[in-house]
Amino acid sequence: MNKQEKVTCPVCMHACRLSEGQKGRCRARVCRDGRVVSENYGRLTSLALDPIEKKPLNRFYPGSKILSAGSYGCSLSCAYCQNDSISQAGEREVPWREVSPEELCALAGDLAEEGNIGAAFTYNEPLVSWEYVRDCGRLLQEAGMKTVLVTNGSVRLPVLEEVLPYVDAMNVDLKAFRAETYKKVLGGDLDTVLAFLEAAAGRTHLEVTYLAVPGLNDSEEEARQAFAFLAGLDGGRGKEIPLHISRFFPRYRMRDRGPTPVRTVLGLCGIAREYLTYVYPGNI
């Protein structure tokens, strides 16, 4: 591959065109020998044993714990990112250590006595290194343990198909229901996320988080559109998808507004219950 040639990354909607040695917008994938590969494969910045409800997953082995692993990089650039120190960082901007799939699976097994049921891939966007999720998930499955994915859903469907056979549960962030918001505030694409949700619904345990941001996505009109979409997934069985409506706090580059009023979160929960069976307020 010469320096003038470029390769298109197939992972997310950005479809970065990369020259040899060049990294994508996610900061986690790089062009090497004419292929776009995961540079952050097995590079963990965070590792913790969490309650399963913290993912959040309220209806998947409640009361259990899960070994949570995160790396660096993300397919989005949300103005209010809660984990910007790792999600908006690259290999030289945050400490990390290499943990092989075998090592992660062994550690998860060692923690079974403390209530651990497997491993969750979270904190940054795990699917920018989908190969690591797949490889770990395969080993965890062989060991009789669970694999959990916490994702923004901003990847192309072939990536989802690669990991889905090994994912027992996932929480997907539906960050808004307007294409303009995804494009201008989040650096993403709404249609990509909706397609991800449509493909995942009914094929794994699925829960969804909707972070209500004042003046951005907290209107009744937009919320109703989002909740109706979720309810219609999987041939109308989407009404059983647990929804977490969370409270926003000023973070990163969005400090021009205060936290979401509790009454707003509770009001949106009331609206959501017109469409969905299981609705939970968060961060209140």
Residues 6+ apart with CB under 8 A from 278: 58, 59, 240, 241, 242, 243
- Answer for the pair 153, 192: CB distance below 8 angstroms, yes or no: yes
**93-99, long-range: CB within 8 Å, 24+ apart, which pairs?**
94/45, 95/45, 96/40, 96/43, 96/44, 96/45, 96/71, 96/72, 97/43, 97/44, 98/42, 98/43, 98/44, 99/42, 99/44, 99/47, 99/69
Q: What is the pLDDT, as a whole number, of residue 95?
A: 97
What are the residue boundaries of the structural domains of the chain, listed by start? 44-282
Q: What is the pLDDT of residues 259-268, one digit of tens each?
A: 999 999 999 9
- Indicate the pTM of the whole model: 0.97
Does position 115 have pLDDT exceeding 80, yes or no? yes
Q: How far apart are CA 114 and CA 108, in angstroms?
A: 10
Does position 205 have pLDDT exceeding 90, yes or no? yes
Does position 60 have pLDDT exceeding 70, yes or no? yes
Does position 269 have pLDDT exceeding 80, yes or no? yes
* Residue 273: how many other CB atoms lie within 10 Å: 13
- Give the E-state strand segments of 141-277 in sequence order: 146-151, 169-173, 205-212, 243-247
Q: What is the pLDDT, as a whole number, of residue 200?
A: 98
User: How many Å separate Cα 280 from the centre of its chain?
Assistant: 18
Does position 1 have pLDDT exceeding 80, yes or no? no
Structure tokens at 100: 């092989």
Q: What is the DSSP pairing of strand 17-18 with strand 29-32?
A: unpaired
Structure tokens at 282: 């968060």
* Residue 258: how many other CB atoms lie within 10 Å: 10
Does position 75 have pLDDT exceeding 80, yes or no? yes
pLDDT band at residue 3 under the 50/70/90 scheme: low
Q: What is the pLDDT, as a whole number, of residue 4?
A: 72
- Answer for the pair 227, 242: CB distance below 8 angstroms, yes or no: no
CATH topology of domain 44-282: TIM Barrel (3.20.20)
- Answer for the pair 237, 200: CB distance below 8 angstroms, yes or no: no
Q: What is the pLDDT of residues 20-51, one digit of tens each?
A: 999 999 999 999 999 999 999 999 999 999 99
* Residue 193: how many other CB atoms lie within 10 Å: 25
